[in-house]
Amino acid sequence: MRKAALILLPLYILFMGCSTNVNTAQTNHSEIQERNFVSAHVVPEGHVWHQSLLKLEEEVQERTDGKWTFDFYPQGSLGPQNDMYQQLQVGSIDLAVLVGPELNSHSEAFAAWAMPFILRDHEDAFKMGATEEAHQLFDTLDGVVGQGYFFAGMRHVLSSDHPLTTIQDFNGLSLRISPSPAITDFWQQSGSGPTPVPAADLYSSFQTGVVDAIDIDLDLMMNNGYYDIGDYFTPLNHMSWAAPVLLNEQLYDSFSEKEKQIFSDSLDVAIQHNKKIAIEREVQQMKDFEEQGGTIVEIEDFSDFYNVAENIHDEYAEANDYIGNFINKAKEISEYDN
């Protein structure tokens, strides 16, 4: 009898081990719920932000065995940015990719992303987006949880009537900007007339001369066909165009730890994809613009722009510690000596 017990003991241990593995597998499996994300943004489907969201969808579907799906609402189809932000807060939108500087209307700290001439290029922008100083900005928002940043490249200027080669050429120019006090301040101090125009009205406003030029990234410029109107492209690189990836706070709080890790890992891959295609596209889109008959204008001396930028930095850093910390970190990354 004792011998039989000794024989059965390993079988019992093996059985218990298998049972434990089954229970663990079931537990891990149950940690991933079926979820459908209502996802919105303000750019067309061809834009780098939308393409980066598609990569995020691909990654989370693979990691959840298809349990997570996305419904996309591009190009402001759920309303302008402020409306989308409010929908995100109450949960009628689950995930949104919004224009960073325009979040200034909800938190003055996001004017940090509107600071001119603190990041030189894509490499600087993506490095900055991963910093603690950039992620601390999310703490100033209510009802949403920031997870990271996509980028659409650097900002430039497209003009319709004449080339812009010095800061004096901007005097009196009606320049379309995204609505942000810091952007307005920079361009006003540079001599132009900054004019906020909703994205839906921008093509007609540019075409009819309501605005003479556009502050814009290349990806949106080429995707929306503004090069049909603007003949002169000035690559200023004066600002990186950041897009926070935001989740509804209650939704994020409902995630298990495993789900949080899945989202984080998937977003990391999507951000790397965003970086790759943003860099590739900017090179190609410069060529495409020239092939369409456009003229690329070079500014030889940026010192006047840098002087205005420094005034903006000092003013906003003094008013907000988040912005001050952000500027210091950005300049450390870029080694800007303006």
Report the percent of the chain where pLDDT is more than 90: 86
Give the tens place of pLDDT for each residue, 106-134. Answer: 999 999 999 999 999 999 999 999 999 99
Which domains does the chain possess?
A: 35-334 (3.40.190.170)
CB 87 within 8 Å of CB 154: no
Give the tens place of pLDDT for each residue, 203-247. Answer: 999 999 999 999 999 999 998 999 999 999 999 999 999 999 999
Q: Would you state the pLDDT for residue 30?
A: 61
pTM given for the model: 0.87
CA 87 – CA 251 distance, rounded (Å):
13
Q: Would you state the pLDDT for residue 274?
A: 97
Q: Would you state the pLDDT for residue 337?
A: 58
Q: Which tokens in the block code for residue 45?
A: 């489907």
Angle between helix axes 181-189 and 303-319 (nearest 10 degrees) is 140
CB crowding 162-186: b at 16 or more within 10 Å, else e = ebbeebebbeebebbbbbbebbbbb
The type of residue at 144 is V
CA distances from residue 317 to 111, 180, 281, 331 in whole angstroms, order as listed: 10, 16, 33, 13
Candidate from 17-31, 88-102, 273-287 with smallest mean pLDDT: 17-31
Q: Is the pLDDT of residue 38 over 60?
A: yes
Q: Is the pLDDT of residue 5 over 50?
A: no
Give the tens place of pLDDT for each residue, 292-314. Answer: 999 999 999 999 999 999 999 99
Residue 69: φ, ψ to 5° = -130, 165
Residue 26's CB: how many other CB atoms inside 10 A? 10
CB 212 within 8 Å of CB 161: yes
For residue 153, what pLDDT band results from cuts at 50, 70 and 90? confident
Read off the pLDDT of each residue in 16-31 and give the average, rounded to a whole number.
42
CA 171 – CA 152 distance, rounded (Å):
27
CA 4 – CA 47 distance, rounded (Å):
71
From the list 115, 112, 114, 71, the residue with the least C-alpha distance to 93 is 71
